[in-house]
């Protein structure tokens, strides 16, 4: 009896087999009372296929697969008795022109630790989940997901922290991370962890962005069950999990997807559509149903089987534009003569609607770096239906401004206000990601002008502005304590820096900002609406001071932010306020816990009838160099 039924073949051919990960690949099963593994492979252009592995001594003729009807579908199947979990295997594919290819299983649930490239048999069905409360709570936020706090800690697991003195890489396992990363994230106040490089990949230096195993958690940190344990523990501690996911391209490694069965099976056949010249990678064929089903099945595996709370989709722009990274003659226009990839557009509409419709409260996040319209718009309005878009425009303007000597900031004041002019166009996440602290771009602290403590005070003001600005938040690991060196995947973060008070103070600052963010709905309920934000003074360029209000839906507990970006003290500073109320100081950058002078100052400020910033009422507050003050009223 075939494991891959006629119905399976039909659904796969329509790109609607949403549990394809339970059919293709290697699955432990019983056949006529005999325990073994059933192998199923899609390779329509192969002449013959064998399963070779540790269980048959890698004998290339021992286990030939049978081609199922209809032959044109190209499904090969074989049950091998006695094969056990953990056994290594590959497919030996004989092409129609007589070549022999040794391929890893595209649907494998586990893989040999690199530099090995074999797939490994894994039974992923027996983990006992205990996160029902989290999953139920997540589903209740289907309608108001945008009104929830989202503060993401972006983590590369292999370099967050390592075991010292070990002969191997010293990587923390998924279970080690559950013991150490979860408490850290909880204490700091993040709501979610975003993990880089979980889908299996061969080359450490790609950070996981050149994937060969779209259905396998990387074996660098443990087994599939270990990964499930990590997600389950995150949920038990009220932390969400987001994975980087890369449907834009894949590497040309001999054991991978490229020219899988001797033909361009997963990639576009025309190299002008099927290759990224800059990256040296292949581009998926989004017009082929079986390829779309491969990617859809991968997304659903992570969200539905492994319970992850969202996918951050990498390099979306490279999928949307046929000429992305290409010169004239290196790309082919679509049927209308322009540069839009119509098949990729439909793919996004399909997969986002599907994943979000089947999994209430989950999120799909686009790393999209252009002005493509309606990335987070509904399909009914010709949008792509992502939940959020990374705000790359805000990030570039913010970093351009923060790098400037304070003397020149007055002429660039608009860089920090411009993002509000388009804030309502999408649902945004403000990001300071790994991409900003590599390839000679400097760490965040070393982007800052000045010397010594001025760098830290600059960065503190920048983080406060980011936390107050509309949009969800993402910080890459190490930025919260002002890592000095650029990030490298080859070593752990420089945790020893926390012995230095300046680094400890900035970590305390980020922690305080995150907890204020999580506790105050004014900072996250109305992120995409002018109803949640109001400038007090957006035009104080001469003093490089920004003042604004964040508002909650119910009108209670509004927040007033004042951020100064020069080293000049303003002892006579006065700020206009919207009402004659008492303003409680809830964050003061001059506090001792953040390395300030901790001068005695009132905690409450009553508005007086004194015009300022075009308002009839105001409060006076002595603003320190690079001073930040946040008031609740």
Q: Where are the domains of the chain?
A: 6-120, 149-364+379-390, 530-632
3-state DSSP call for residue 239? coil
Write down the pLDDT at residue 1: 53
Q: Residue 374 burial by CB count (10 A; 0-12/13-18/19+): exposed, middle or buried?
A: middle
Instruction: Give the class (CATH, top level) of 6-120.
Output: mainly beta
For β-strands 192-195 and 240-245, DSSP reports them as parallel
Task: Assign domain 149-364+379-390 one CATH number from 3.30.70.260, 3.20.20.80, 3.50.50.100, 2.60.40.290.
Answer: 3.20.20.80
75 close to 183: Cβ distance less than 8 angstroms = no
* Active site members: 314, 367
Q: Would you state the pLDDT for residue 2?
A: 66
Instruction: Give yes or no for a contact between 525 and 147, defined as CB atoms under 8 angstroms apart.
Output: yes
Q: Do domains 149-364+379-390 and 530-632 have the same CATH topology?
A: no
How far apart CA 492 and CA 162 sit, in angstroms, is: 6
pLDDT of residue 599: 75
How, if at all, do strands 88-95 and 119-120 pair?
Answer: antiparallel
Residues of the chain with pLDDT under 50: none
Ordered strands of the 25-31 beta sheet: 25-31, 34-42, 75-81, 66-67
User: How far from the centroid of its chain's Cα atoms is residue 331's Cα?
Assistant: 29
Sign of CA dihedral 210, 431, 423, 524: positive
Backbone angles phi, psi at 364, to 5 degrees: -120, 125
Which pLDDT does position 168 carry in this prediction?
83
DSSP 3-state of 189:
coil
CA distance 566 to 326: 42
CATH of domain 530-632: 2.60.40.1180
């Amino acid at each position: 009896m075939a494991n891959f039924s006629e119905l399976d073949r039909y659904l796969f051919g329509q790109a609607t087999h949403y549990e394809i990960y339970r059919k293709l690949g290697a699955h432990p099963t019983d056949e006529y009372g005999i325990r073994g593994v059933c192998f199923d492979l899609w390779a329509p252009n192969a002449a013959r296929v064998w399963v070779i592995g540790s269980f048959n001594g890698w004998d290339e003729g021992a286990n030939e697969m049978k081609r199922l009807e209809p032959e044109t579908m190209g499904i090969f199947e074989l049950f091998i008795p006695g094969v056990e979990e953990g056994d290594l295997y590959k497919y030996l594919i004989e092409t129609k022109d007589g070549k022999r290819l040794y391929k890893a299983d595209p649907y494998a649930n586990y893989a040999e630790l690199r530099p090995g490239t074999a797939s490994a048999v894994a039974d992923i069905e027996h983990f006992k989940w205990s996160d029902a409360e989290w999953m139920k709570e997540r589903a209740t936020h289907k309608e108001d997901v945008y009104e929830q706090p989202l503060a993401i800690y972006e983590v590369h697991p292999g370099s967050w922290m390592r075991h010292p003195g070990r002969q191997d890489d010293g990587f923390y396992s998924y279970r080690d991370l559950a013991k150490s990363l979860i408490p850290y994230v909880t204490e700091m106040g993040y709501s979610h962890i975003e993990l880089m490089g979980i889908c299996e990949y061969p080359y450490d230096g790609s950070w996981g962005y050149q994937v060969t195993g779209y259905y396998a958690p990387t074996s660098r940190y443990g087994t599939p069950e270990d990964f499930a344990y990590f997600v389950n523990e995150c949920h038990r501690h009220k932390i969400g999990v987001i994975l980087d996911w890369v449907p834009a391209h894949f590497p040309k490694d001999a054991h991978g997807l490229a020219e899988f069965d001797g033909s361009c099976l997963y990639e576009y056949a025309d190299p002008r559509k099927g290759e990224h010249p800059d990256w040296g990678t292949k581009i998926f064929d989004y017009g082929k149903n079986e390829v779309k089903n491969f990617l859809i099945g991968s997304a659903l595996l992570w969200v539905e089987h492994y319970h992850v709370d969202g996918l951050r989709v990498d390099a979306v722009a490279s999928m949307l534009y046929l000429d992305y990274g290409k010169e004239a003659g290196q790309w082919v226009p679509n049927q209308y003569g322009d540069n839009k990839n119509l098949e990729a557009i439909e793919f996004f509409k399909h997969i986002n609607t599907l994943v979000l419709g089947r999994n209430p409260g989950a999120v799909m996040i686009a790393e999209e770096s252009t002005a493509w319209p309606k990335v987070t718009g509904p399909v009914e309005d010709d949008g792509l239906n992502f939940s959020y878009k990374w705000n790359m425009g805000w990030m570039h303007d913010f970093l351009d401004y923060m790098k400037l000597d304070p003397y020149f900031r007055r002429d660039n004041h608009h860089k920090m206000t411009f993002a509000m002019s388009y804030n309502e166009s999408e649902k945004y996440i403000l990001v300071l990601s790994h991409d900003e602290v590599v390839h000679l771009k400097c760490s965040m602290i070393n982007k800052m002008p000045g010397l010594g403590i001025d760098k830290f005070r600059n960065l503190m003001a920048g983080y406060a502005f980011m936390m107050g600005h509309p949009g969800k938040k993402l910080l890459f690991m190490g930025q919260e304590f002002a890592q000095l060196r650029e990030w490298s995947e080859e070593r752990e973060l420089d945790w020893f820096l926390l012995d230095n008070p300046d680094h400890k103070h900035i970590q305390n600052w980020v922690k305080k900002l995150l907890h204020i963010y999580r506790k105050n709905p004014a900072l996250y309920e109305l992120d995409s609406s002018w109803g949640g934000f109001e400038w007090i003074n957006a035009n104080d360029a001469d003093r490089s001071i920004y003042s604004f209000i964040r508002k909650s839906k119910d009108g209670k507990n509004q927040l007033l932010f004042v951020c100064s970006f020069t080293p000049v003290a303003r002892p006579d500073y006065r700020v206009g306020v919207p009402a004659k109320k008492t303003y409680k100081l809830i964050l003061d950058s001059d506090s001792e816990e953040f390395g300030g002078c901790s001068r005695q100052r009132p905690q409450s400020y009553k508005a007086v009838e004194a015009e300022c910033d075009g308002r009839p009422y105001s409060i006076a507050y002595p603003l320190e160099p690079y001073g930040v003050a946040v008031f609740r009223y």
